A and B are shown apart, each in its own frame.
Chain A
Amino acid sequence: MDTPQATVTLDTSGKCCPMPMVETNKAIKALAVGDVLEIIATDVATLKDIPSWCERTGQTLLSSSEHDQTLKFYVRKNR
């Protein structure tokens, strides 16, 4: 599967709950519908937080991956 093209990248590396989700919420609000937010995280809590947040807020989680303890999420803004 191709890596989605990110409109904006949010790097939360080193930060932990609640900051990755606080910053993700801020970042998505600054985007237009259809834009893709790439989120980089090292907090394992984001593994559950981000998919749950996407479902709750109506965004689409396009893909997620983990490499060398770094997590990447691609989220398309729907509203």
Chain B
Amino acid sequence: MKTLAIVVTNDAFDKILTPLGIAYLMAAEDVQVDMLFVNWAVTALKTGGASNLHIDGRHAEDEEKMRAGMAKAGLPTDMYELIKALKGTGCVNMYACSMAAAIFGVDETNLIPEAEGIVGLAWFLNEKADKADHYQYF
């Protein structure tokens, strides 16, 4: 695999770990990873957003347990630290969906520097997802 495209929809702390973890692993193997953050997930690309993600619903009370498990596994427990690590690989591009950005109050002024920018869904699906060796949706 040389290229991977991932669409991320959920901003819950536990739900966003999987796509970020997969991106980190593949980037370590020099796979070019392009990620589009749609719906609530776009808030992870907003200044201060990724550090304030929490577990929702029936697993919410297990958040401390999950963070402890992540630390033991060697993973950052702050999602912004993981996003910075992804960017640091030089193989991961993170994009904010323009519709989600408009709905959830993300713009160029509050977008984190690790993000490539705000893009349209059509561009991402045609130029990144359709051309990638593998495509995932979370």
Contact = CB atoms under 8 A, between A and B. Distances in A.
| Majority SS at the chain B contact face | helix
A22 B25 contact: yes
A17 B24 CA distance: 11
Contacts of A18: 21-22, 24-25, 28
Given A25-B29, A26-B28, A57-B29, A19 B75 contact: yes
Contacts of B24: 18, 22
Contacts of A62: none
A21 interface: yes
A22 B73 contact: no
Interface stretch (A8-16, A31-39, A65-73): A8-16
Contacts of B21: 17-18
Contacts of B29: 21, 25, 53, 56-57
Contacts of B30: 25
B73 A16 contact: yes
B74 interface: yes
Contacts of A23: 74
Nearest to B22: A18
B85 to A, nearest CB: 9
Interface of A: 12, 14-19, 21-23, 25-26, 53, 56-57
